[in-house]
Amino acid sequence: MLAVTTLYNLALQASLPAYPTLFKSGYVTMLGDSLLVIALISAAGGFDSPFAYLLFALTVSVAMRYGYGPSLAMVLVFVGFDVLEEWPLLRPTDAPFAIRSGFLAFTAILASYLRAQVYEAEAALQRAYADLAAAHGELQRAYADLAGAHQELLGVDEMKTTFLANVSHELRTPLSSIRAFSELLLSYDDPAVQREFLQIVNAESERLTRLVNDVLDISKIEAGKLEWRMAPLDLAALLSETARTYAPLVERNGLQFVQDIPGDLPTVAGDRDRLQQVLANLLDNATKFTEQGHIALRARHMRDEVHVTVSDTGIGIASEDHERIFQKFQQVGDSLTDKPSGTGLGLAISRDIIAHHGGRLWVEAEPGHGSTFTFSLTAIPHTTPVPPVSRAAGDGAGDAVTDPPRATVPPAAWSRSAIR
């Protein structure tokens, strides 16, 4: 018996590497083990011998590996061989046979049940582990979001501090100038000197108005309460009017003003005052940052859009600052002395205005090679009528705005509100 068992195991160990696919499922080895056990039992005295207890060990191992079906099938094989052993002797099945067969079936069922419980416990453990991993991932994401929010709050706090410092300085400077030159006016009788002082007071008043308007505009945009008057707009006329207004200012600074505005530009839907504010911001920036060369205002009809471009031959902008200049309270430069005065709101306001019109505002620039700011507006098809609309941001599309018309501010008072 030991020799047969040893040869069987040696043959099995030699065959496993040679035929891995055949032995992968384990059914072949299960069948071989069953036949070996039956042979050993038969050689040792039959199913009534103590070696019959090997059947229970094999039944438990098969049930724990394969479950109910294979283990009960193997029990049937054992019972069949047990019957065949008694059949040649014409002996009827007795109580030991019934007890042995019943316990074999009970052993197979109990072991299979325990296997099923183990698998359910393992599955529950896997689910719990997956839930724990998901919860851990959610916790990590929440922590990352919290850390990001904390950094953002720190950035906002820093911007607020910078903004308050800038605004307090910017507001105090024109107010001090207005007060000082107003007092000087009382001391001079020379009309020429008085006129010069009045011009300074007027310019500082305009500067103060621009600063206040910037702060009010960005606050209204963020609150969704900025009033919009959308209507069909002759963009070519608006660009030409703005060009006429700024040509003297640009030329007075020793720069050439290039205009390329086709007369057949399509109609767009927009708020005339707000679009003029964007143009004024861009042209003011170009004038402020260009010492020599030219400033150009161009427009092109591109499929279903109109692209308006303001370019200059000024100092340019580094690529890493292309997006930062559109953020609130941001001014770029190597030092504080490089930055012109202002709140850093003009370009942020301009991008919000263009975004409300369904367009985009972007910049192409390199240091020392000038800057090109471009914004897009959607052209109105000739067959699509667009009625005038007056509403506030955040209102429903069909809600009428009953607020009184906003006060009209002269272009000189609000147009030069942007700094980079």
How far apart (Å, rounded) are the C-alpha atoms in residues 128 and 134? 10
So what's the pLDDT on residue 355? 92
Q: Which of 97, 115, 133 is the last residue of a domain?
A: 133
The amino acid at residue 173 is: T
Q: Same domain for 264 and 116?
A: no
Percent of the chain exceeding pLDDT 90 equals 26
CB contact at 8 A, 338 and 312:
no
pLDDT digits (tens, 9 = 90+) for 250-297: 988 899 999 999 988 999 999 998 898 899 889 988 988 899 999 999
Q: Is 380 part of a structural domain of the chain?
A: yes
Residue 358 gets the label, from left (phi > 0), alpha (psi -120 to 50) or beta, of left
Residue 28 belongs to a domain: yes
Strand partners, 302: 305
pLDDT at 194: 78
Non-local (6+) Cβ contacts of 183 within 8 A are: none
Angle at 335 between CA 333 and CA 339, to 5 degrees: 55
pLDDT of residue 235: 92
- Domain membership of residue 207 (yes or no) is no
384/407 Cα distance (integer angstroms): 31
Q: For residue 62, tell me if it sits in a domain.
A: yes
Q: Specify the pLDDT at position 420.
A: 31
Alpha-carbon gap, residue 23 to 13, rounded angstroms = 11
Q: What is the rounded distance in angstroms from the CA atom of residue 308 to the CA atom of residue 166?
A: 31
What does the alpha-carbon distance between residue 233 and residue 361 come to, in Å, rounded to a whole number?
Answer: 19
Q: Are residues 288 and 396 in the same domain?
A: yes
Mark whether 234 and 374 lie in a shared domain.
Answer: yes
Contact indicator for 262, 276 with CB cutoff of 8 Å: no
- Rounded to 5 degrees, φ, ψ at 305 are -130, 160
Query: 305 pairs with which residues across the strands?
Result: 302, 378
Q: Is residue 199 part of a domain?
A: no
Tokens representing 26? 């384990």
Task: Give the count of alpha carbons within 13 A of 383, CB side only.
Answer: 0
Q: Note the residue count of the chain.
A: 420
Residue 57 CB burial class (10 angstroms; 0-12, 13-18, ≥19): exposed
The domain boundary, picked from 85, 102, 133, lies at 133
Instruction: Report d(CA 166, CA 329) in Å as an integer.
Output: 9
**pLDDT value at position 383?**
47
pLDDT in tens, 119-162: 899 999 999 999 999 999 899 999 999 998 998 888 777 777 76
Q: 336: helix, coil or strand?
A: helix
The pLDDT of residue 261 is 92
User: Does 129 reside within a domain?
Assistant: yes
Number of domains in the chain: 2
User: Which whole-number Å values give the CA distances from 226 to 55, 209, 360, 393, 404, in the listed order?
Assistant: 88, 18, 19, 6, 13
* Residues facing 295 on adjacent strands: 257, 312
Q: Are 129 and 233 members of one domain?
A: no
Same domain, 121 and 234: no
- Across 211-326, the runs of DSSP E, i.e. the strands, are 227-233, 256-260, 268-270, 294-302, 305-312
Phi-psi domain of 256 (left: phi exceeds 0; alpha: psi -120 through 50; beta: other)? beta
**What is the domain extent for residue 28?**
2-133
| Ramachandran bin of 387, using left for φ above 0, alpha for ψ from -120 to 50, beta for the remaining angles | beta
Task: Answer yes or no: do 409 and 265 share one domain.
Answer: yes
Rounded Cα gap, residues 160 and 154, in angstroms: 10
User: What CATH number does the domain containing 315 carry?
Assistant: 3.30.565.10
Helix (H, G, I), strand (E, B) or coil at 240: helix
Low-confidence ranges of the chain (pLDDT < 70): 86-93, 162-173, 207, 210, 222, 329-344, 382-420
Alpha carbons 111 and 121: distance in angstroms, whole number: 15
Would you say residue 219 lies in a domain? no
Residue 290 in domain: yes
Query: DSSP character for 307?
Result: E
Q: Which of 108, 133, 158 is the last residue of a domain?
A: 133
Same domain? For 234 and 124 the reply is no
